[in-house]
Structure 1
Amino acid sequence: MSRVVFFGVDLHGHVNPTLGLINKLIESGEEVIYYCNDPFREKIEQTGASFRSYRGLLSFGRHNGTGIETFLIFADFLMDKCRTLVEELQEEVTQLQPDYIIHDSFCLWGKELAAKLQIPGIAVFANFPFIDEMAQKDPSFFMEYVLLATDDPLYLKHKGKHDVYRKLLDKLARVISLKYGKPSLNVMNDIFCSKEKLNLLFTSRQFQIHEEVFDNTHLFAGYDIYARSEPVDFPFERLDDRPLVYIAFGTILNHLSELYDTCFQAFHDSSYQVVMSIGMHTDPTAFRAVPDNFIVRSYVPQLELLRRADAFVTHGGANSIYESICHHVPMVVLPQVFDEFMGALMVERSGAGIYMRNHEPSTDELRDAVEQILSNTSYRDNCKRVKQSFEATGGLDRAVNEIIQFAKQKVCHV
């Protein structure tokens, strides 16, 4: 049995995909110590892992700014957190004497601590993977679909004249080198991805954009649903035989009142039953009137609803898209931030749903999109096909075997 330290990110969309992996590692005889923030203690401990708190040293959220500005701020955030967490946790982690470290791709401190302890490090991509090699193949893709910098004055000024992406990363690398004393960094792969010699991706090559640039250090593990306990009070008895449309835009975003009103107007007189999750930052009493065919809650048990749903209107987060595919539920995707646009493109390309370019659609546009995926069975069939590609990877059983073998082989070579 080996001891594993796992460093996670305090976001549902990053913790949930890792729970099945952690449970499989423990079933294989590994001891796992999982670092995250206290609100995630219960669901982490349910896997059999030991929980360790970041003790208030880490808090991920969302910055409201332009694409390029946010990119710079997030890079500085990761570097600053890395410096703080390495200083605060190095002695503690050293005393734990782990045999190897697994870390979320955003957790640069996991990579740094593995290097300092001279033990193997493994990165896990809980979000949609974007690596520097993708930008080498298509540099405008990152600027326009990840950074959302299509209308940024800097991008417009230089677009078509030279590789704006590469110049941006070179400039950021120089800033980081001066501020943090880290020369020769590939900002995308070393900071935003914290890439290791083994990198685990919760998807399949068939679903991944530009999959051909991912070399054999990237292990595609598909996506497995891990049954998580969600003690949420929800009136399942109110669900009937009408087609069920599930609407959710994630747990982070707020200020979406106009979009929720559009949903009310689009489906209030329809033959559908609608469950709408509005997140913890929106007051459900603020709505003037909730249509009779709607059930509106701040938080809902998503897996249970996807088992019953016929269509999913979603922001396009990785968790939501993968869980929807695994339940064969076609999607209407209205991406709001960053990698959600990449997720929407993958859904569109695979035929598993509709990508709505207008993130503030009219009532007619939204209603028509939902009616299209409900009436055309090819969308559900394509969800089944993508799920089959997940299963064909070998899933978590293969991933755990690869991780354990990698850790054993690398012990003498780190």
Structure 2
Amino acid sequence: MAKVIYFGVDLHGHVNPTLGLIRKLVERGNEVVYYCSDEFRGKIERTGATFRSYRGLLNFAMHEGSGIDTFLVFADFIMEKGRLLADRLFEEVSGLRPVCIIHDAFAYWGKELAAKLGVPGVSVFANFPFIHEMAASDPGFFMEHVLRAGDDPLYKKYKGHTDMYPKLIEKVSRMIARRHGLGEVNVINDVFGSKQPLNLIFSSRAFQLYEEAFDESYLFAGYTADPRADAEPFPMDRLDGRPLVYIAFGTILHDLGDLIEGCMKAFGGEEVQVVMSVGRQFKVEQLAGVPDNFLVMPYVPQLELLERADAFVTHGGANSIYESLCAGVPMVVVPQVFDEFMGALMVERAEAGIRLESEAFAPEPLREAVRSVLNDPAYRIGSARIGDSFRATGGLDMAVQSIIHYTEQRVNA
């Protein structure tokens, strides 16, 4: 039995996509040790892996905001956590004698520990992948849709200059390298992607923007929606047969008041039934004037709801988008933070749904967007097409076999 270590990031959107992979590794006879924060112990242990705690050292946070300053702050955060955890965990991990270290793309400490121990490393993109080669082929896309720097005075001044992106990346990379004692580094691939000789992506080339930028070191393994052992109960008997619109804005956002109010104004009295998941941070009992065609709950079993849904209104997190595509459900994406803007654009370009700019969010455009995805079969066809492309990759069986083959090659080299 081979011992494999997985270093995770303590966010639901980063842990959930990995659970099927870990379960498959265990089923193949591997002993998997999964490092994460304590709140994820239960769901990790249910895969058959051994849970190990970061002991309060991580507390990963998604950095809201946009622009060059936020980009630099987030890179610094990853590096500081990476160095701290690599130092604190080195002796412990060395004693485990792993044959391979697999880690979240944001878990720089996994890359660092694999290098220090001289064992093969695999990076896993639990979120939407973004690599340097994508930005190099379309610098404007990076500046406007990833950095969200469209209103930055410096960007406005130099917009259209072909050397702006490489100069920015070179400058930020030098700053990160100097602050953290690194050699030559590319901040996107080496810090945000923790690039390894094998990099696993839970998607397909058919859905990926600028897929030609991804060389053979990137393995597209589709997406497998792993059933939730801790799924919330839901009164399915209350679904009455009207077109079902499912609305959820993930586990990160807490200030949902305007979004919830906008949704109730958009669909109250419409000939649809709405199921809305608002999370535990928002008190459902505080809502006034909930329309009769709404069911509002803190959490719902998302996979089961998507099996019945006709449209999905989502913030655009990777898990939500991928699960909707697996179910063939068209989306209206209202991105709020970070890579959700890129996810919304991917959905739009795949003709699997409609992207709404959050700044212009209002009941009327939301209502019209949902009507469009309900009435135009092209969106459901587009969503189903991408779901089929996920399954055509070979999925988790192919991913696990590739990891085993890569590890054996490196060990025997």
For residues 36-47 of structure 1, the aligned pairs below 5 Å read 36-47=36-47
Q: Is the 8 A contact 1:278 1:298 kept in 2?
A: yes
How far residue 231 of structure 1 moved from its aligned partner, in angstroms, is 4.1
For residues 94-109 of structure 1, the aligned pairs below 5 Å read 94-109=94-109
Q: Is the 8 A contact 1:124 1:200 kept in 2?
A: yes
Q: Is the 8 A contact 2:64 2:337 kept in 1?
A: no
For 1:34, the aligned partner's letter is Y
Distance 2:283 2:67 in 1: 28
Q: Does 1:48 align with 2:54?
A: no
Q: Deviations over 1:6-47 (max 9, x none)?
A: 000111111111111111111111111101111111111111
Consecutive unaligned residues in structure 2, runs of 5 or more: none
Secondary structure in structure 2 of the residue aligned to 1:194: coil
The change in CA–CA distance for 1:149 and 1:24 in structure 2 (over 3 A counts) is same
2:266 maps to which residue? Answer: 266
Secondary structure in structure 2 of the residue aligned to 1:411: helix
2:30 maps to which residue? Answer: 30
Q: Is the 8 A contact 1:259 1:360 kept in 2?
A: no
Distance 2:66 2:379 in 1: 34
Distance 1:246 1:177 in 2: 45
For 1:161, the aligned partner's letter is H
TM-score for both structures, normalised by structure 2: 0.97
1:182 maps to which residue? Answer: 182
Distance 1:330 1:66 in 2: 28
Distance 1:145 1:65 in 2: 13
Secondary structure in structure 1 of the residue aligned to 2:380: helix
Q: Is the 8 A contact 1:173 1:183 kept in 2?
A: no
What is the RMSD computed on CA atoms of the aligned residues? 1.3
1:165 maps to which residue? Answer: 165
Distance 1:367 1:230 in 2: 32
Q: Is the 8 A contact 1:145 1:338 kept in 2?
A: no
1:142 maps to which residue? Answer: 142
User: Which segment drifts farther, 373-382 or 109-118?
Assistant: 373-382
Q: Is the 8 A contact 1:246 1:311 kept in 2?
A: yes
How far residue 65 of structure 1 moved from its aligned partner, in angstroms, is 3.2
Distance 1:64 1:370 in 2: 27
How far residue 296 of structure 1 moved from its aligned partner, in angstroms, is 1.3
Distance 1:311 1:202 in 2: 23
Q: Does 1:113 align with 2:130?
A: no
User: Which segment drifts farther, 280-289 or 2-11?
Assistant: 280-289
1:307 maps to which residue? Answer: 307
User: Which segment drifts farther, 280-289 or 55-64?
Assistant: 280-289
Distance 1:33 1:141 in 2: 38
How far residue 302 of structure 1 moved from its aligned partner, in angstroms, is 1.0
User: Which segment drifts farther, 335-344 or 160-169?
Assistant: 160-169
The change in CA–CA distance for 1:300 and 1:67 in structure 2 (over 3 A counts) is farther
Secondary structure in structure 1 of the residue aligned to 2:102: strand
Secondary structure in structure 2 of the residue aligned to 1:322: helix
The percent identity for this pair of structures is: 60
For 1:299, the aligned partner's letter is Y
For residues 295-374 of structure 1, the aligned pairs below 5 Å read 295-374=295-374
For 1:163, the aligned partner's letter is D
For 1:47, the aligned partner's letter is T
1:84 maps to which residue? Answer: 84
The change in CA–CA distance for 1:396 and 1:179 in structure 2 (over 3 A counts) is same
Distance 2:310 2:237 in 1: 17
Q: Is the 8 A contact 1:335 1:359 kept in 2?
A: no
Distance 1:377 1:69 in 2: 42
Q: Deviations over 1:356-395 (max 9, x none)?
A: 2354422121111111111112211221111111111111
User: Which segment drifts farther, 326-335 or 379-388?
Assistant: 379-388
For 1:171, the aligned partner's letter is K
Q: Does 1:126 align with 2:126?
A: yes
Q: Is the 8 A contact 1:33 1:49 kept in 2?
A: yes
2:398 maps to which residue? Answer: 398
TM-score for both structures, normalised by structure 1: 0.97
Q: Is the 8 A contact 1:34 1:51 kept in 2?
A: yes
For 2:257, the aligned partner's letter is S
Secondary structure in structure 2 of the residue aligned to 1:102: strand
Q: Is the 8 A contact 2:139 2:162 kept in 1?
A: no
User: Which segment drifts farther, 392-401 or 294-303?
Assistant: 294-303
For 2:92, the aligned partner's letter is E
User: Which segment drifts farther, 12-21 or 148-157?
Assistant: 148-157
Q: Is the 8 A contact 2:269 2:292 kept in 1?
A: no
Q: How many residues align?
A: 413
2:294 maps to which residue? Answer: 294
For 2:169, the aligned partner's letter is L
Secondary structure in structure 2 of the residue aligned to 1:22: helix
How far residue 234 of structure 1 moved from its aligned partner, in angstroms, is 2.9
For 1:108, the aligned partner's letter is Y
2:251 maps to which residue? Answer: 251
Distance 2:140 2:316 in 1: 21
1:10 maps to which residue? Answer: 10
2:242 maps to which residue? Answer: 242
Q: Is the 8 A contact 1:280 1:298 kept in 2?
A: yes
Q: Deviations over 1:41-80 (max 9, x none)?
A: 1111111111111110011223343322211110000000
Q: Is the 8 A contact 1:348 1:354 kept in 2?
A: yes
For 2:77, the aligned partner's letter is F
The change in CA–CA distance for 1:205 and 1:406 in structure 2 (over 3 A counts) is same
